[in-house]
Structure 1
């Protein structure tokens, strides 16, 4: 599972890291280990469910870009160093992610493609220096990195930094408008995004579907279980896939105000811990995937219209609903409506 320490609650001052807060994170990791759960610690939150958490020493009278300002970056180095030093020795920690979808901190924090890459590369090296041998380091970005022409974070960061390419698949990005909650474009979007990561990173680099969920109203509750089944079946056809993490464990209590409406009902469990149909469907789908990973078989190959690594302003040509995306869905569509993901190559 992924856990999300909130950055300013642990580092309220640039030179002040609260040891009791770090102890709380360690205790959570140990509880997870006792329950047989391995943990990926997302370090810089940063951003969670539409809320930004940035410490006061980077706001108001001290406002500076998290990505560009050297003072803030030095503070982040100290934070990441301390967290990894304290948690790397926990046997249940298998990975560290730099932060949850840190590209959501832009445009509030100005940056450029070069600055974003330098920021992430610096922190990846900090984690490597302090993590134990075998622990993975991962850079997490939401999908504008692959789709948005003017976005100052690019696919090269996902597929070249760290040990695994992580992708976050959310069909409210326009995909569900293509063919509805159970259409082949919608239920294969996770596979499409993962295959784009393979095309950019090469066939030998593993891919982690680090976030995927069934958001309302794009996927109505009565279709959520089937959406889960079809999504998992499609994405697990990729040989590079090494894991799926569903967002998220529990619904958000509606007494917690000001979340976007879709954020309240994304859980596999209700607020009072009752499993929802999507939870049962996910358990069954993962069991099937583990028992029978598909044998390697020829898949159709499509060449993207542009090299989005070399020409990031062309990213719109592969975005959901684009001519290429629709052709990819059609190439892999089966008579029952499922999609066997076609391979993608860059020109």
Structure 2
């Protein structure tokens, strides 16, 4: 097909995991160690990092927000600026690498849901407002996300679809008021897309905030379909970006691939560079894509215990700052893609008769391994394939805005 579209240059970054002490390093913050880590990333040609202040260490009491902890966050942002890196800040950690970090004032005798309890929501609002105002004082901060996959905090915290929608919508407005020139974002992991019983709405992921985010992890069942380098595995990021774009009401709404990685044992170290090349080759041709942020910057020290095994080796760099082959492949891809805007091809779209906005109980029908996913993967092997919801399959202005040339009905 002929290229008819052009898109702005993509952003490429890393989710910053400190090489010394994982996120526990916030408890004993080392400016020198942070700068050593960020030098690694800048040397690859990345343009941004996503950082994760740990909520209970900043707000250990509902009425106490520690300025010294905020100052450490600001130093990390300033360190990124020294290396020419933009920064996206996640507010509520919340959930990190299989661990939940919640302040004591929502636990034990004080047990209450972060999503539904009025006093807890008031405390979170104060935290979000104060931290957002602080980080927005730095010109290299371009985004604030409510938290890292906050839907991982359920079911430990009671939630309903109505409650999670209200919670996120209210906090997005808090962030916008505190930092009107910064992207305000809401991020969910993919159960929101694939699990019919999940109490977080797909519509919220594409309606709330200034752009949509997607977290693509092939250990969700995709890699079991066809192995580490099979079509379903290497195109899953593209599939999730397409589902996200197809669910948004605005055909021009961008999608940030905010997390993607090469987890073992699904993808071995030997296969990881090839996975990087194929996955990026598929998803970077998507006109909805805003940028790609790799999970994660550095490995986790195996002296730290109780992490799932795959979490230790997800980094672009080892804990002693050695670059990995997959990181070299990522850097090479970025270098090749760097010049100018992207040339994007118009492509056909597969019609999806599941309306994810109004039929969340049917989410399983688009999950990895479903008939729809299998058909999309089959068609995708011949080239880019969009997804379009059935109600919009005949909407010509909408199709043109998304770069869709024709529609295909599932066989």
Shift of residue 285, structure 1, vs aligned partner: 1.5
Q: Deviations over 1:252-302 (max 9, x none)?
A: 001111000000000000010000001001111222333376533331211
Q: For 1:331 and 1:300, how far apart are their aligned partners in 2?
A: 10
2:338 pairs with 1:290: yes
Q: Give ranges in structure 1 of 5+ residues lacking alignment.
A: 335-339
* Pick aligned residue for 1:164 from 200, 208, 211: 211
**Structure 2 match to 1:182:** 229
* Correspondence list, 1:113-192, <5 A: 113-133=161-181, 135-192=182-239
Q: Deviations over 1:169-194 (max 9, x none)?
A: 00000000111000011000000000
CA RMSD of aligned residues (A): 1.0
How many residues align structurally? 341
Q: Deviations over 1:4-37 (max 9, x none)?
A: 0000000000000011000000000000001111
1:12 aligned counterpart, secondary structure: coil
Shift of residue 154, structure 1, vs aligned partner: 1.6
Shift of residue 341, structure 1, vs aligned partner: 3.1
1:209 aligned counterpart, secondary structure: strand
Q: For 2:241 and 2:340, how far apart are their aligned partners in 1?
A: 20
2:155 pairs with 1:112: no
Judged with a 3 Å threshold, the aligned counterparts in structure 2 of structure 1 residues 9 and 287 are, in CA distance, closer, same or farther, namely same
**Structure 2 match to 1:237:** 285
**Structure 2 match to 1:300:** 348
8 A Cα contact 1:169 1:211, kept in partner: yes
Q: For 1:171 and 1:155, how far apart are their aligned partners in 2?
A: 19
8 A Cα contact 2:97 2:307, kept in partner: yes
Shift of residue 303, structure 1, vs aligned partner: 0.9
Q: For 1:341 and 1:172, how far apart are their aligned partners in 2?
A: 23
Q: Give ranges in structure 2 of 5+ residues lacking alignment.
A: 1-48, 391-411
Q: Select the structure with the greater relative contact order (CA < 8 A; seq sep ≥ 6).
A: 2
* Pick aligned residue for 1:10 from 31, 55, 58: 58
2:388 pairs with 1:345: yes
8 A Cα contact 2:95 2:101, kept in partner: yes
2:300 aligned counterpart, secondary structure: coil
2:321 pairs with 1:321: no
**Structure 1 match to 2:34:** none
Normalised to the residue count of structure 2, the TM-score between the two structures is 0.82
